[in-house]
Amino acid sequence: MKYLREYRDRQLVEVLLEKISATLTRPWVLMEVCGGQTHSIVKHGLDQLLPASLQLVHGPGCPVCVTAQETVDQAIAIAGRDDVIFCSYGDMLRVPGSHQSLEGAKANGADVRVVYSPTDALLVAQENPQRLVVFFAVGFETTAPASALALAQARQSGVQNFRVLVSHFLVPPAISAIVEGAENSVQGFLAPGHVCAVTGMEACQELAARYRVPIVVTGFEPADILLGILHCVEQLERGDAAAENQYRRVAGDDGNTVARKWVNEVFEIAGQNWRGIGTLANSGLRLKSEYEAFDAAPLAAPPVLDADQRDCISGEILRGIKKPPQCPHFGTRCRPEHPLGAPMVSSEGACAAYFSYQ
Amino acid sequence: MNSDQPDAQTLNLHCPSPIEADCIQLGHGGGGQLSSQLFNEVIAPRFANAELNRGHDSALLNLAGADVAFTTDSYVVNPLIFPGGSIGKLAVFGTVNDLLMAGARPQYISCSLIIEEGLAISTLGMILDDMADAAREAGVEIVTGDTKVVERGHGDGLFINTAGIGVREWPGVIAPQSIQPGDCLILSADIGRHGLAILAQRQGLQFDAPLQSDCASLLPAVTALFDAGLEVHCLRDATRGGLASVLVELAETSGCRFDVRESAIPVSPVVTGACELLGFDPLHIANEGCFVAAVAPEHAEQALVLLRQQAVSGSCALIGRVSEAGDGKVYLETPLGSRRVLRRMTGRLLPRIC
């Protein structure tokens, strides 16, 4: 298949692996930020092919994994209302809240529907004027523009029964939190190509300059990831710390200005609660006052959780401090069919990727 | 693998986890890990007997001296009519194929209809016509049945149950337990077409090339193998849960290790593209017209030649081998030369966010 086959070409991969080996003179620790990259690395077994002195740790870039348990509980409470049709992206359905998942709520009678885009949820609202239709707006800079567009359309067409439960996250503050963390071992970052396709290079340039760390915007196919690693390692070996774009076929240096315009029209930057990490300042989006009428949060209050009640070490996983097999519950009490935490849920989650492919 | 990761063997990856859900979820019907748990922990212990424990598509029975196979299956699909077939065609071919997978020639099937109030009689008629056509094609007669009507809202238009009986006229026990080290693993056709055709129709997704279900009778392919006297040890159609579930189940039941080459598994470009777009693995997508055969190595080449001559198995391929070492796992060699353990899908297929 065009645009896939050439980036999965074995010869090309072997050439890149040889170059990486030839460049390395000492051990380095890199983080791939996006869950899609983690999935690809483990699915294609790239970690088996790379030199042992190069360590890849998996970052916080899986939208399913970072959505706070409190937010999932709130979503389940809203979905349980008789007057609500709750629409969600598919892989949010299995994320465990404190007591059950949205899929469990559905089995108990909640009207939970899988949609492929927020505009599909808006259509459900237009087709069901007597019910409240709530869309679970999760994800990073990649999914926020679609949420914004659906909200702008809803406002423009005067749809009264459409709501969104917003849990949008921003990647750069998470990278800052990782670098500033006391236990940080990451020396270079593979930045998420699809996020940068929206944001452009500016945020990466700021981070690289502020923390003196190489950041390479990287794609998702095996050759993309190896090219990102190669350029990151080359910088580290030279002592450089720059932002580079190795995914120009998708991510322009200026990003997607139209998408950002819609996001800025509907959302403003706010603090956000990251699962397993906690609240980070300016790391999420909330609705602007003009769009407050669409906020689903007042439909059910989020619960207050005891931080110590969880067995999942997702915070350490998401910050790259531990790898999934280092969790005592990995593969035993915690499996994809019974996840203790979100990283075991989505195929982009580091734990699920390890479980499925190793 | 990096050195700080513990050996997978020490992680006890097969420790069963309890079903913590207090009620049935859709994932329990997905053909993956949850379905397997439901059967093994809730259903099988209550009915336990030697034949059920065989874990085969059909029960292998001896009735008054005759070797027969007996099977049943229920069909629930929305939409009832889809590109490449209908629930009626599925209900006949599905049961016919389950009998064939036990090395039996299908003879008679039953037809139980559970109809939701309000279903158009013209729609029912079209589906029953499909059943009649499919039965003729597969050489079976529909000889008994039942009809129930449920209130509107209590059924998805139409549910069909069929049971089938066939005569095991070919020698040997065709079952997972007959798989032997050295066997060649042959996949009869390219995978992923049925599940994606249904999904595309249900969600209104459109692709450049239309997706059609592979729903078909496997009779011509299976009879070609048996009539040539080839030593076939096991057959299994790759339906719910896809090729991954079937391979994992056969490896576990036989206790053998399977080595499979990912690049040898035929997948059409449209299925590859749709899976990339939706975040699915083609190995998890349901099929209704392809099967895996474990064939003695000396007969594998001839099996491929014979299968290629049949329309239903024209895209067959040798995808792997059963190895000497017996850890009951499936190892997939990726196109890049790395290796990973193949696992069942977890619950039902859920599209990824981005």
| B153 touches A at CB < 8 Å | no
Length of chain A: 358
Mean pLDDT of A322-341: 83
Cα–Cα distance measured from residue A47 to residue A58, given in angstroms and rounded to the nearest whole number: 11
Of B103, B223, B218, nearest in space to B172 by CA: B103
For residue range B41-56, list pLDDT tens digits in order: 999 999 989 999 888 8
Tell me: pLDDT of B352 over 80: no
Q: How far apart are CA B160 and CA B88, in angstroms?
A: 8
- Minimal CA separation from A175 to chain B, in Å: 20
Q: What is the pTM of this model?
A: 0.84
The C-alpha of B122 sits at a distance from chain A's nearest C-alpha, in angstroms, of 27
On whether any CB of chain A is under 8 Å from the CB of B351, the answer is yes
| Mean pLDDT, range A113-140, rounded to an integer | 96
Contacts of B239 (CB under 8 A, 6+ apart): B31, B94, B246, B286, B287, B288
Contact A337 B18 (CB under 8 A): no
Interface subset of A 257-296, CB within 8 angstroms of B:
none
Residues 6+ apart with CB under 8 A from B225: B232, B293, B295, B303, B306, B307
* Chain B residues 262-281 with a CB less than 8 Å from chain A: 269, 272-273, 276, 279
Report residue B10's pLDDT band, with 50, 70 and 90 as the boundaries. Answer: very low
Tell me what pLDDT residue B12 has.
24
For B280, the closest chain A residue by CA position comes to A347
Q: Which residues of A touch B334 (CB under 8 A)?
A: 43-45
Alpha-carbon distances of A104 from A332, B17, B95, rounded to whole Å: 21, 17, 31
Asked if B26 is an interface residue toward chain A (Cβ–Cβ < 8 A), one would say: yes
Q: What is the mean pLDDT of chain B?
A: 89
Predicted confidence band of residue B7 (pLDDT cuts 50, 70, 90) = very low
Closest CA to B333 of B346, B345, B323: B323
Which of B13, B336, B354 is closest, CB to CB, to A139? Answer: B354
Interchain proximity A143–B354, CB inside 8 Å: yes
Q: Which of A162, A140, A137, A145 is nearest to A75 (CA)?
A: A137
CA distance B280 to chain A (A): 9
The nearest CA of chain B is from the CA of A345 a distance in Å of 10
Q: Find residues 128-187 of chain A whose CB sits inside 8 Å of chain B.
A: 138-140, 142-143
Query: What confidence tier does A298 reach under pLDDT thresholds 50, 70, 90?
Result: very high
Residue B202 contacts residue B332 (beta carbons within 8 Å): no
Give me the pLDDT at residue B18, please: 32
pLDDT in tens, B286-309: 999 999 999 999 999 999 999 999
H or E element, residue A150: helix A144-156
Indicate the pLDDT class of residue B347, thresholds 50, 70 and 90. Answer: low
Which of A89, A348, A356 is closest, CB to CB, to B343? Answer: A356
Taking CA atoms, what residue in B is nearest to A120? B203
CB-CB neighbors (< 8 A) of B27 in chain A? 94, 103, 337
pLDDT value at residue B326:
79
